[in-house]
Amino acid sequence: MNTYWLMEYVKIFIGYFFFMFVWPSVVFGNYLKGKTKTYRFSFCVTAQILIVNTIVLLLGLFGILHTRLVAVIFYGIFFGAFLRMCSGSVLLKADRERKREILRVWMQELWKGFSARSGEYILLSAVLVFGMMYFSYGAFQIHSYSIYDVYQHHGWVNALVEGNIYPGGIYPEAMHCFIYCLYAMFGIRIYSMMLFFQCIHLMLFFLSAYILLREVFHWRYSPIFVLLIYMMIDLAGGRGHSIYRLPITLPMEFGLHTQFLCAAFFIRYMKYAGHVVRKEKKSRFCWDENLLLLLLALAASIASHYFTTIMAFLICTSFAVFYIRKIFRVEYFVPLFVSVVCGCMIAVVPMAGALFSGIPFEGSIRWALSEMESSNAGRMSHESVQSGVESVRGPLDLTQEDLEVVEKLPYVGQRLLSGIIKTEYFIKVMYQNGYQGMFKPERGRRIFWVTVCMILFCVLNRVKDAARLKGIGKAYPPIILLSFLSVFFCVTILEPGLGFPVLLPEHRFCAEGFLMNFAVMMMPVDILFSVAAQFRKDYILQGLSYLFAIGIYGLMHFQDNFHSYLSCSLNRYDAAVEVTEAIISEYPEGTYTVISPHEEIHQLALYGEHEEIPVFLEKCMGKQYSLATEYVFIYVEKRPIEYHQVYYYNGPSWLGKSGDTQIKATEISEEAAEENLEDYAGAAWEPYAKGRTAMESKAYQWCQNFAKLHPSELKIYYEDDNFVCYYFKQDTEEPYNLAGGLG
């Protein structure tokens, strides 16, 4: 593991922890004093996102967004609050003996709060550390972005550094603003943050899911079991392709934790809210501090990504169905409605300001709408009619044999039997294309039948409330419904003939969907532990919980159910990343130009100049072409990489199963250098994909010809079996004419 990247990771972790947790804890210290750990955590991870997003975007709207100003604002607010807190501190004003007594009492209270649930916290921490190591490992092995979209978002963060908000149009900017503030306050390179940031931030996803599941399960270790399975089980063979996106710094993934917090504090509001009594006067409506966190979580979801908001409403609706009578009571409905409206307004204000200033919406909004409507195209394809032939039968349509039986019945019987048959077909489709399509067939079968059993348990427990099961399973139904919906979204993609619109593409809801299905799988375990808790002492069940967690790990590892390492879309050699970072560190800003593929553009943007290889080769065909910088670096792949290939990470067997790590590549040659790059003209990526061998061969040929003309000038900065970086130094007053090097 490279020391440089490890240090970058540590810097990001420290900066992230300070800015996400320490900063709001100090600034809002008076408000958070006395609040629970869950409340403090949830407030920090929602309010801080909104504060950062609002301040940065408003500064941009007024044209005064500058890196130093942002640093002054956030450091100024923090130190002002810190000094105010210190000036009012009883500890600082007390004498020595009093200070010792205060510290002793404080440590006792801290230990008391920890020791009461120390076993739970230790196991939860172990699971989270394991998950962080697993999801971070690939970024240390290949120091390049795992998905191409990250390059564009890197460019948008660079635009914030230049004072330009919404460079591509109005788009949720919370992630970009947060990374930009870390850059402004700590000077951490944006490339490093785009590489590692989400590997740290995704722990909020799991902690927020834990908070929600604590409201559902009766035994307090059950949510940890769910997270443990999720982080260890092998999801290969199903449609779990969005899992690999969890550690990738993308806007939607940045806001995924907010959907769980929306649901968690919606539940807490419905459970605990009551009429506030002030001055012996009872309020008309039921207000509760949980409404504030619901408001903040909703606003943070909108500021992060539109899909996270859709998912937040979906999850909340799944719970709201079971609180429907209570929700529509005026005393609950009005505060809830006001909170939702306020949350939307807080997030939308910066976007509305940009819209009124003349900035249009970013184009991906239209793309998202077209993606949601893709089922219509699938349905048209599925129902295509050959000339003179009836439409193809849909999966829920009755067969000819069914119609012969149904037609013999009276009208009411026909309607009833048709409904029964269609329901049977729907269950079959959900089972075959849903549970077995989303998971491996055997695992999908188990999840399906466990889900059926849990539905029966909830129904029977509601009809006959057994004394030993009192309260157990009461909150299961919303999770079961969510697990069903996640499978249903998978079916709408795999089976467009059903005719259902794609409200939410399943790969968007995949990460949450798997979690909800594994939560259903843990419900029988939760029931067993909850019943046993009525007969056995707590410390015995805690020990059994640890043994059960160890058993989960051992069972998956030794039965070949252990997860594989993640993969990435490989676009360049790791040497290109390392060389670019070295150039940035070694050479003064603005003194060099790097000639390379597209991937280095945003990495270099704030430090040096960049020229894409296809553009460079085209300009070299002219009579006069020069670059103005003192140093010129040229990247050449001696073995041109296969663009966008799937590359599987590898590592220690206790953390995951290694994949095929072979890099697919071709060879440069004189014959390839003779090819015409115009044959690969088209989309911007085509020269790098289809024409990469010819492009790299021409670049290598140019370097050899330049070396013949200037034997002592062209030097090698770095070289290995696959990649070489040439460079030369020139007089900026009389730069070299680079044209003609291909002739």
The confidence score (pLDDT) of residue 244 equals 82
How many helices (H) and strands (E) in the chain? 34, 9
Query: What is the residue-wise DSSP string for 449-490?
Result: HHHHHHHHHHHHHHHS--GGGTTTTTTHHHHHHHHHHHHHHH
Lowest mean pLDDT, pick from 143-147, 170-174, 505-509, 529-533? 505-509
Which span out of 247-251, 461-465, 531-535 was modeled with the highest average pLDDT? 247-251
The model's confidence at residue 506, banded by pLDDT at 50, 70 and 90, is low
Rounded distance, CA 260 to CA 266, Å?
A: 10
Pairing relationship of beta strands 609-612 and 592-596 according to DSSP bridges: parallel
Let me know how long the chain is.
743
Report pLDDT for 131: 92
Q: How far apart are CA 416 and CA 423, in angstroms?
A: 11
In the beta sheet, which residues pair with residue 612? 596
Instruction: Report pLDDT for 497.
Output: 63
pLDDT at position 375 is 44
Residue 104 pLDDT grade (very low, low, confident, very high; cuts 50, 70, 90): confident
Closest CA to 633 of 598, 593, 582, 603: 593
Exposure of 186 by Cβ count < 10 A (0-12 exposed, 13-18 middle, 19+ buried)?
middle
Angle at 432 between CA 428 and CA 433, to 5 degrees: 110
Give which of 625, 574, 586, 633 is closest to 609, Cα–Cα.
Answer: 633
The model's confidence at residue 679, banded by pLDDT at 50, 70 and 90, is confident
Nearest Cα to 238, choosing from 382, 425, 381, 447? Answer: 447
Q: In 3D, which of 244, 250, 248, 204 has the Cα closest to residue 227?
A: 204
| Averaged confidence pLDDT in the chain | 87
pLDDT of residue 388: 39
The H or E element that residue 512 is part of is helix 510-521
Give Dmax over CA atoms of the chain in angstroms: 97
Share above pLDDT 70 across residues of the chain, in percent, rounded to a whole number: 88
Low-confidence winner among 33-37, 574-578, 681-685 (lowest mean pLDDT): 681-685
Amino acid 552: pLDDT: 92
DSSP string, 258-288: HHHHHHHHHHHHHHH-EEEEETTEEEEEEE-
Task: Tell me the CA end-to-end span of the chain in Å, nearest whole number.
Answer: 44
Partners of 715 in beta bridges: 727
pLDDT value for 415: 80
Q: Are strands 631-637 and 592-596 parallel, antiparallel or unpaired?
A: parallel
Q: What is the pLDDT averaged over residues 181-207? A: 96
The pLDDT of residue 205: 96
- Point out the least confidently predicted range of 202-211, 432-441, 512-521: 432-441
Place of tokens 């050479």: 587
The pLDDT value recorded for residue 297 is 97
Q: What integer pLDDT is reported at residue 389 of this predicted model?
A: 40
Average pLDDT rounded to a whole number, residues 169-189: 95
Query: Is residue 28 within 8 Å of 47, Cβ to Cβ?
Result: yes
Q: For residues 647 and 661, is the Cβ–Cβ distance under 8 A?
A: yes
Beta carbons of 383 and 394 less than 8 angstroms apart:
yes
Residue 111: per-residue pLDDT: 67
Say what the pLDDT of residue 264 is. 96
Q: How far apart are CA 439 and CA 525, in angstroms?
A: 21
**What does the alpha-carbon distance between residue 350 and residue 338 come to, in Å, rounded to a whole number?**
20
Identify the pLDDT of residue 378. 46
C-alpha distances (whole Å) from 463 to each of 129, 525, 528, 531 are 42, 22, 20, 19
Q: How confident is the model at residue 285 (pLDDT cuts 50, 70, 90)?
A: confident
- Which token pair is 609? 């100049």
pLDDT digits (tens, 9 = 90+) for 204-239: 999 999 999 999 999 999 999 999 999 998 876 545
Handedness of CA 229, 234, 238, 244 (dihedral sign): positive
Which bin fits 384, alpha (ψ -120 to 50), beta or left (φ > 0)?
A: beta
Q: What is the DSSP letter of 94?
A: S
| DSSP 8-state class, residue 163 | T
Top-ranked range on mean pLDDT: pick from 30-44, 361-375, 459-473, 548-562: 30-44
- Residue of higher predicted confidence among 324 and 275: 324
Residue in the block written with tokens 């710094």 = 249
Comparing 474 with 610, the larger pLDDT belongs to 610
What pLDDT was estimated at residue 462? 79
State the pLDDT confidence band at 402, using cuts at 50, 70 and 90: confident
Bridge partners (DSSP) of residue 595 are 611, 634
CA 307 vs CA 87, 224, 360, 376: distances in Å? 45, 26, 19, 20
How distant, in Å, are the alpha carbons of 88, 188, 380, 395 from that of 497?
67, 50, 8, 6
Report the predicted TM-score, pTM, of the whole model to 2 decimal places: 0.90
Taking the C-alpha atoms of residue 415 and residue 354, their distance in angstroms, rounded to an integer, is 54
Q: Which residue would you say has higher pLDDT here, 354 or 366?
A: 354
Beta-strand pair 715-719/631-637: unpaired
Question: Can you give the pLDDT at residue 67?
Answer: 96
Mean pLDDT over 586-601 rounds to 95
Read off the pLDDT of each residue in 521-530 and give the average, rounded to a whole number. Answer: 94
pLDDT for res 90: 60
Contact assessment for residue 633 and residue 715, using Cβ atoms and an 8 Å cutoff: no
Say which residues have a Cβ less than 8 Å from residue 742's Cβ, sequence separation at least 6: 617, 620, 621, 698, 701, 702, 705
Residues 6+ apart with CB under 8 A from 3: none
Model confidence over 337-364: pLDDT tens digits?
999 999 999 999 999 999 999 998 887 6
Q: Cα–Cα distances in Å, from 140 out to 144, 149, 637?
A: 9, 19, 22
Partnered with residue 718 across adjacent β-strands are: 725
Give Cα separations from 478 to 246, 309, 483, 509 (angstroms): 24, 18, 9, 16
Structure tokens given for 610: 């960049």
Between 422 and 635, where is the model more confident? 635
Place of tokens 């069903």: 484
Question: Sheet holding 592-596: strands in order across?
Answer: 609-612, 592-596, 631-637, 723-729, 715-719
Taking a C-beta distance cutoff of 8 angstroms, is the pair 375, 496 a contact?
yes
User: CA angle, 124 as apex, 121 and 128 as ends, to 5°?
Assistant: 135
d(CA 212, CA 152): 33
